[in-house]
Amino acid sequence: MNQQGRKEPLSFAGILKLLYSNRKSGHLRVQSAEGELVLHFGEGKIVNVEMPKGQEWIIGQYLTEGEVITERKLLRALRIAAQKGLTPEQVLVDKRFISPDVLKRYMDLYSREVILPLFGKVGLVCSFTADEPTENKWLPPVSVPFLLKEGERRAREWPLLNKRIPSADVVYGKDKSFISQVVRDGEENGNPLFSDKLDPEVGANERIIYYFVDGEKTLKRLARASGLDLFSAFRALYTLESKFMVKVLREQGEARQRERSVLIPVLVKGLFYAMILATIAGLGFLRPGLLKVVTGERGVDVVQLDDAREASHFRQLEVAMAARFVERLACPASLATLADEGLVERAPLSTYHLHCDAKQGFSLELEERP
């Protein structure tokens, strides 16, 4: 895409500036080594991001990595969407697997994850057509000025971040020496995340990432759980590590273990699955009722469904509460406030107990079912 009077083609950032300043509407096709990405513009704002053809539904991957939804529910949503001709997003909301607000946050996260890396790539082929844009109702309009600012910073800082943190599979843990330093002198019940002694250079992103650091999640999963893009998560952990608040526990976490499992010989897998099928067949022969449960001909235990629903809703509450607390550093009047502000769906909030203090942080407890 060339601009009249220029000998050199515009950069990706230059194209975005041009479309934004002229309030253009249409399709911007960006061809890279990874495939084609289509950005839908509506009066200068990005209102939809079309995934490259042939790729899986990446939003689902983000939701499972962020532990917002289980893989089982995700597969069920995909199956229903295919059967009824609906989008997976619509099914997730209709079935109340996730709230609309949570879905919008992850759609916005996805848009940043696929657009920001383009600022540092060379050899992009861009073309713009004045086709009618298709607005994605689950994606809040993406601000081009924000992308330009973050894209420039990413291109400038990414090499430095990669020297300190070479992989998104790194697992961090909280540094106990930092915690002991903050909570000493009679502050045994203090929360270092919200302590008055916390370094003022530690911002909101660092605080929310620190909250989710547990010594088990990889950097990628920390980013997904906190709702931050990878670049922001890398920056936050870079700062936290330089302040000796966190430290690397393992260079490779769950992602590497999952990759190794793919290398299991096919023969071993075949024998394993054959044993499972033989067991199921045996159960069906001895007790036909058991086979009906496995194949779905008999209803699933209602208590199990309630437990799964509670776990999903509890996770939504926890993420929404953490994000709100970090942003405002204040406690809501009650959990109903989260629903009033559109952060969570108005589900049975009365089954949860909220303990919140401006210095201690917050905790959620689920009341046991009688």
Question: How do residues 305-359 score in pLDDT, each as one tens digit?
Answer: 444 445 556 666 666 666 665 555 566 777 777 777 666 666 666 666 666 654 4
Answer whether residue 300 is part of any domain. no
Is residue 67 located within the same domain as residue 149? yes
Confidence of residue 38 (pLDDT cuts 50, 70, 90): very high
CA nearest to 222, candidates 162, 174, 161:
174
Answer whether residue 5 is part of any domain. no
Task: Give pLDDT, residue 367.
Answer: 52
pLDDT (average), residues 100-118: 91
Q: Check if the beta carbon of residue 88 is closer than 8 Å to that of residue 59.
A: yes
Answer whether residue 303 is part of any domain. no
Tell me the pLDDT tens digit for each residue of 213-250: 999 999 999 999 888 899 999 999 999 999 888 999 98
Using a pLDDT cut of 70, give the percent of the chain over it. Answer: 61
What is the CB-side half-sphere exposure of residue 90 using CA atoms within 13 A? 10
Is residue 147 located within the same domain as residue 181? no
Number of neighbours of residue 233 by Cβ within 10 angstroms: 26
pLDDT (average), residues 87-116: 91
Is residue 66 located within the same domain as residue 116? yes
DSSP 64: H
Alpha helices, DSSP H, located in 88-193 = 88-94, 100-115, 144-164, 176-183
Is residue 142 located within the same domain as residue 236? no
Alpha helices, DSSP H, located in 296-356 = 302-328, 335-340
* CATH number of the domain where residue 218 is located: 1.10.10.10
10 three-state secondary structure: coil
Q: Check if the beta carbon of residue 337 is closer than 8 Å to that of residue 344.
A: no
In the predicted structure, residue 289 carries a pLDDT above the cut 80? no
Is residue 229 located within the same domain as residue 97? no
Helix (H) or strand (E) holding 14: helix 12-21
Q: At what angle do helices 12-21 and 144-164 cross, to 10 degrees?
A: 160
340 against 301, higher pLDDT: 340
Answer whether residue 1 is part of any domain. no
93 against 260, higher pLDDT: 93
CA nearest to 106, candidates 76, 74, 72, 68:
68
Is residue 114 located within the same domain as residue 214? no
Is residue 133 located within the same domain as residue 209? no
Task: Give pLDDT, residue 196.
Answer: 55
Is residue 179 located within the same domain as residue 131? no
Count structural domains, the chain: 4
For 274, the domain range is 268-295
**Token reading at 214:** 């547990």
Task: Give pLDDT, residue 268.
Answer: 38
Give the Cα separation of 308 and 314 in Å (integer): 10
Answer whether residue 32 is part of any domain. yes
Task: Please name the amino acid found at residue 358.
Answer: A
Tell me the pLDDT tens digit for each residue of 151-195: 999 989 988 998 899 899 999 999 887 766 665 544 445 455 555
Is residue 69 located within the same domain as residue 25? yes
pLDDT (average), residues 9-37: 91
Give the Cα separation of 212 and 209 in Å (integer): 5
Q: Check if the beta carbon of residue 179 is closer than 8 Å to that of residue 145.
A: no
Give the Cα separation of 59 and 139 in Å (integer): 12
Helix (H) or strand (E) holding 240: helix 230-242
What pTM was estimated for this model as a whole? 0.61
Angle at 317 between CA 256 and CA 330, to 5 degrees: 110
Answer whether residue 23 is part of any domain. yes
Give the Cα separation of 22 and 153 in Å (integer): 24
Is residue 169 located within the same domain as residue 152? no
**Token reading at 155:** 């291109």
CA nearest to 345, candidates 144, 73, 102:
102
How much is the CA Rg of the chain, to the nearest whole Å?
24
In the predicted structure, residue 149 carries a pLDDT above the cut 90? yes
**Token reading at 235:** 């920056």
Tell me the pLDDT tens digit for each residue of 70-84: 888 988 988 898 899
Q: Check if the beta carbon of residue 174 is closer than 8 Å to that of residue 245.
A: yes
Helix (H) or strand (E) holding 243: none
When mean pLDDT is compared across 253-257, 268-272, 306-310, 321-325, the lowest value belongs to 268-272
31 against 189, higher pLDDT: 31
**Token reading at 199:** 């370094």
Task: Give pLDDT, residue 259.
Answer: 39
Answer whether residue 240 is part of any domain. yes
pLDDT (average), residues 56-60: 75
